Structure 1
Amino acid sequence: MQIVSGAGAFTPSNDPAKTANYVEHLSVPDLSVGTYSIAAGGADGQGPHTEDEIYVVTAGRARLVTESGEADAVPGAVLFVPAGEVHRFVEISEDFAALVIFGPAEYSRAT
């Protein structure tokens, strides 16, 4: 067993030029877990990933826009994005944080 501390807590970037921040908390071959934070009014610059993702929103408000649709990203929302799908959080009206679960682990399928 391992307790994953700090997961899901909003963590601003140390770089004042960046409004988004990702902190990885755990990585094993079959999955990885981290927290993605975006400051209110910030921009999400991520690209599609080679692994499936689940976002569990823990704080703030945003909208997730994908190739296949859009959804409100509010505390308690659980959002799935399949590998390779272009997606982005927009309309970040409050400091936003989401627990991110990659399966398999992030970058494990990267070429």
Structure 2
Amino acid sequence: MAKRAVHSTLEDAINLGPAPPGNLAIPIFSHGTMVTELYTPEGSDPQTPHSRDEIYIVAKGSGQFFDGQETLEIKEGSFIFVPAGTEYRFLNFTVGFSVWVVFYGPEGGES
């Protein structure tokens, strides 16, 4: 398999949507254990804890992130790491709020 860089803009990712049935996010790219998606919640964030570690990077908008203990202010460019199994939620986000989400590693997360 040829190795080469993969590039996507926010607009490219949105144009791949909507998310497939049963998924809350638009699949963008996968490689090995890594899966990259674009998550664009509307109104509220219905996510439940995931079985793998994940990284979020805010692509558009702002809001708050509740990590189960603390509520953090987030904006474009914010980076968030969420260990597997963690309760969390995006709150009070702006219309059009979008985050890149990267799932990786084994079920149960890395140690």
Q: TM-score range by the shorter chain?
A: 0.7 to 0.9
Q: Is this contact kept in 2: 1:48–1:84, CA < 8 A?
A: yes
The runs of at least 4 aligned residues of structure 1 exceeding 4 Å deviation read: 12-15
Return the structure number with greater helix share.
2
Distance 1:72 1:94 in 2: 16
Equivalent in the alignment of 1:76 = 77
Q: Is this contact kept in 1: 2:52–2:83, CA < 8 A?
A: yes
Equivalent in the alignment of 2:28 = 25
TM-score between both structures, scaled by the size of structure 1 = 0.74
Distance 1:93 1:31 in 2: 28
Q: Is this contact kept in 1: 2:18–2:26, CA < 8 A?
A: no
* 1:21-71 C-alpha deviation (Å, 9 max, x unpaired): 4111112232111111123xx111010001111111010112111213221
Equivalent in the alignment of 1:86 = 87
Identify which of structures 1 and 2 has the higher relative contact order when contacts are C-alpha pairs closer than 8 Å and 6+ apart: 1
> Alignment identity in percent?
25
Q: Which runs of 5+ in 1 are unaligned?
A: none
Q: Is this contact kept in 1: 2:39–2:98, CA < 8 A?
A: yes
TM-score between both structures, scaled by the size of structure 2 = 0.74
| Structural mapping, 1:7-86, within 5 Å | 8-9=10-11, 11=14, 21-39=24-42, 42-86=43-87
- Equivalenced residues, count: 100
Distance 2:107 2:50 in 1: 9
Q: Residue type of the partner of 1:37? A: T
Q: Which runs of 5+ in 2 are unaligned?
A: none
Distance 2:95 2:46 in 1: 17
Shift of 1:93: 2.5
Return the structure number with greater strand share.
1
